Structure 1
């Protein structure tokens, strides 16, 4: 894997991608170097089923692909090999009115494995299957490690041992972990596949939303899953210990299919213990040296775990000034900075922090979001301006030492959700930190707040974590409910403003 990745993109294959596609495929199948798809094959696929051909690009380079056909269920149920299912490589078996999305190829360049890019391709196929209202995804997977065991056991015994995790197969193990189940063993499936002894495993993923009476399926994602991390302050020996703990939580919320992971404000404060002999202002400036390496590592996590990460906040030095900032690390490999605008008296007196001058909404693959750090949510003008820019979800990483401080953040966040007809997700730190000055105690309760109308909980609280306990909070929010509220709510706060009498606007800093 290359050391730095700036952007990851998943999109439909284009014929202009062919040269790079060919190179990556040859690298992916060194044992079958002469079996790559020819340009005529790709042109034919794109002409009959363009939406079924996918590629992954890293910094503009094609590093993986998934190719598919739509096949009649009766043909899939019959005993077949690769040549037959592909119509002798003419793809004449493709039938746009059939029921099965059949995968004819998927690969990731060896240099880019370990980033879960293959999982993205599989997830995209599942989304396509749902959008096209197809019954299932079926394909025959190779079992390349079987050659090592073919003299000792049958293919059936080998597959059972892989399923029970007694053995590992780089293809089958990955497919089983992606919710595919085994239908049957295929003999003489792919000619020349010596690693698999020409055996393959027919696998299936069922579309639970399949409707035998076809209907138009909305392709826009409306159910967004939020993963909030209620972080326990603890002694950390070094920044690698921080990364280990952070990755654990990212893995957890990603494993539950979360679209976002939200960390608290200044959750990296335990690293200041090494500088406790310095003044508070000097110690936090030393802590700021970690901010850029943390951003880079979290950007890697966002790619690897296919999740958008809001890094809470951390101190940041720029031009001799100390700011409180965080980063939105998107799963496409890009990142953007956000800055705390309003600085508390404590931050000014003890640390000499300054407030930022830029705030905006952020475009993500789940729509527009806003991010305000702690004290900022207590100033309603900011979130109103973000709502005017189309914000659907407001994230608030916070750090409060007492229950009084938390109460301010909680109730102001609830007010912002009602005022701006949006969801508000908050997450903070819990526990004690005795070896870091000015960071002794913390109090928090991660929560997701909603507008107040019939479609939402009557108390405006979608979910809450247990107070002052390290944990995660996984919550689904429905953007369709916001659309309905904007147009048909009992009250329509955004629409009913008297802008003929009053308005707020951003000033040029």
Structure 2
């Protein structure tokens, strides 16, 4: 897999042409001279600029999805590729039509496996909804058909692909993205010998077929949170941890969650290998996993198109031991956050040091804050974050007893009320008998809200079952926070007496 720095999805620009051409040549290497000429792209951008999308990885165009708007009665008739594109003039585009017709989608071979194609398809669906079009239609190639053409006709081949008896790199992907087959068309793309020039006309219906005048990448108002209540269990190695983590990431991303939240020190089972060492030495051995975990979770964030908050783990910097976690964003970037307030146990058993950076993080779902466990019991931190515009506070925690959990829970609820924000907490459950100082855990993941008429009366949006491994999927509406700030029964942030008191950062010397 290519090493990734940053991923961006945006509209195509003419300045992208050379990179677009090079990636397209690589993607269609089996088709001779298969790439768009520059005058074609210029015409497309003049005709329908918002319908032309690209994926940029580290400044390089590695994929694209190109579209037109076509009346449904035209899109659903038998046609060839030349006919639907107006012999590549794109004069078939009709802004009054009701179908978004996909004329091309590709990903550079070196960047396949990162689910970038899925992002392009999802962006097309979003565009379809925003333009109030009835659906998406396109004719997909069946490049593996040539391997089965002597024994199967196209209809039989498609049915076997649908039943997963045969894998087709194009059709299998399209079916998995909620497109359904309408018909088979002959002689669709001249020279497509691997498909025997057959194509499958596929369609996706827009169930929100109503006006929604938004643009691609407009910030959401409804944010979906995926909280992972992690069961402590013996793990043989780092790969076993990744397998278990990927299971949960796959699960919450399958419900289209925008965030996945892991607990504090969920990687503790890996410390069992160092039980022969002192507790302080064992935790420092565990710290060696921090950067490999960051890299792997960045890969998961890209592949599953989800922002991941990696809970926390020990981290060595200049021989000082910190409790840190990583925000791995779905654009491929990551940022580190550090626990500021260290518990007496963390100092006594491990010799941990507290961090000194108070910060918020900009994401594609708005500004968020992250504090680790004990930090949530200090209201000044989240108040400073709230002053910077934080809307969701994430709290990965680890508590061994109900006493400790009660402190985390009620302080988190207080932070939601006083800062007029959402607070999501997630912890570890179960027992870990072979790891010193990590033997028992108690947790109940939850999402807390402010307390006003637009929110639950008890300020609890959702709670997991206590001490049971599970996920908690919760939607939060950030637009309700805006209304609360202005029109709430009480307006805590607005009604502060700045003439009497103020919470401020202390400058570093």
Equivalent residue runs for 1:3-402 within 5 Å: 4-211=3-210, 214=211, 216-217=213-214, 219-402=218-401
Aligned equivalents of 2:384, 2:205: Cα separation in 1: 44
**Local SS of the residue matching 1:312:** coil
Aligned equivalents of 1:447, 1:9: Cα separation in 2: 32
Query: 1:12–1:291: structure 2 CA closer, same or farther, 3 Å change rule?
Result: same
Paired residues, number:
506
Aligned equivalents of 2:505, 2:98: Cα separation in 1: 53
Aligned equivalents of 2:499, 2:199: Cα separation in 1: 69
Deviations 1:244-293 (A, max 9, x none): 11111111111111111100001111111111111111111111111111
Aligned equivalents of 1:402, 1:409: Cα separation in 2: 11
Are the equivalent residues in 1 in contact too, given 2:311–2:325 (CA < 8 A)?
yes
Aligned equivalents of 1:357, 1:412: Cα separation in 2: 21
Are the equivalent residues in 2 in contact too, given 1:136–1:207 (CA < 8 A)?
yes
Are the equivalent residues in 2 in contact too, given 1:133–1:217 (CA < 8 A)?
no
**Local SS of the residue matching 1:355:** coil
Aligned equivalents of 2:300, 2:387: Cα separation in 1: 31
Are the equivalent residues in 2 in contact too, given 1:267–1:429 (CA < 8 A)?
yes
Aligned equivalents of 1:195, 1:188: Cα separation in 2: 12
**Local SS of the residue matching 2:447:** strand
Are the equivalent residues in 1 in contact too, given 2:98–2:134 (CA < 8 A)?
yes
Structure 1 residue 28: Cα displacement: 0.5
Aligned equivalents of 1:217, 1:103: Cα separation in 2: 20
Task: Give the aligned partner of residue 414 of structure 1.
Answer: 413
Task: Give the aligned partner of residue 427 of structure 1.
Answer: 426
Structure 1 residue 33: Cα displacement: 3.0
Are the equivalent residues in 1 in contact too, given 2:12–2:53 (CA < 8 A)?
yes
Aligned equivalents of 1:486, 1:216: Cα separation in 2: 26
Deviations 1:62-100 (A, max 9, x none): 110000011112211222111111111100011122111
Structure 1 residue 215: Cα displacement: 5.4
Deviations 1:280-322 (A, max 9, x none): 1111111111111111111111111111110000011111211
Deviations 1:305-353 (A, max 9, x none): 1111100000111112111000000111110000001011111111111
Aligned equivalents of 1:322, 1:21: Cα separation in 2: 46
Are the equivalent residues in 1 in contact too, given 2:394–2:424 (CA < 8 A)?
yes
- TM-score, normalised via structure 1 length: 0.98
Structure 1 residue 217: Cα displacement: 4.3
Query: 1:153–1:14: structure 2 CA closer, same or farther, 3 Å change rule?
Result: same
- TM-score, normalised via structure 2 length: 0.98
**Local SS of the residue matching 1:31:** coil
Structure 1 residue 49: Cα displacement: 1.0
Provide the alpha-carbon RMSD of the alignment: 1.0
Structure 1 residue 220: Cα displacement: 3.0
